[in-house]
Amino acid sequence: MRRSRGRRKLVAMHRATSFRWLCRVLGAVWIMLGLVLFVSFFAYQRPGSQALLPTGPWGHYFAAMAGCALVAWGGTLFAAAREPALGRGVGTATAVGLVGMALYRMAGWVVGDYYAVAGDTLRVEAGIFLLIALALVWLRPPRLPSLGSPTSEEVA
């Protein structure tokens, strides 16, 4: 009985560590990618500059917006890595986001327009995102017991 409890504790510890590392790595990648997208907008505005992204003014506009969102997303992932139990919802939200990203990649691959420039990349990326989403679902830390809101006497 005691051994089983110890083992369960060990598994929970490993799970929390893996969740932390997954959040850290994904957060770092998102922030770097976000910064590249953000900077590409400003680089595009310089007169006579070569566009970093293969798109026009509106493409750069929305890329910069996506970059800002990615930086914010990466930040929340770092926060979840610092405090996994409190960042439980971040894992779920990130998994949902990753599934969405996998779905549009699969659709783009099937239609075929992107195949000409990216080959099988979209399909491989979709598979990787789905695996990360699965890992986030299974490594998600357990819910903390609700502490409730303090009474007025406690606050006083």
Partner 1 sequence: MLRGLATAVILLFFALDLALPATPVGVRGHEARVRAAVPQASTWLGHPLPSLSFEDLQGREVHLADLRGHPLLVTFERSVDW
Does residue 61 bind partner 1 (CB under 8 A)?
no
Q: Which of 25, 89, 138, 142 binds partner 1 (CB under 8 A)?
A: 138
The verdict on 48 binding partner 1 (CB under 8 A) reads no
Interface map 97-136 toward partner 1 (x if CB under 8 A): --x--xx--x--xxxxx-xxx-----x--xx--xx-xx--
Pull the structure tokens for residue 32.
């770097």
| Three-state DSSP string of 105-150 | HHHHHHHCCCHHHHCCHHHHHHHHHHHHHHHHHHHCCCCCCCCCCC
Query: Dmax of the chain from CA atoms?
Result: 72
- Chain residues binding partner 1 by CB under 8 A are 54-55, 95, 99, 102-103, 106, 109-113, 115-117, 123, 126-127, 130-131, 133-134, 137-138, 140
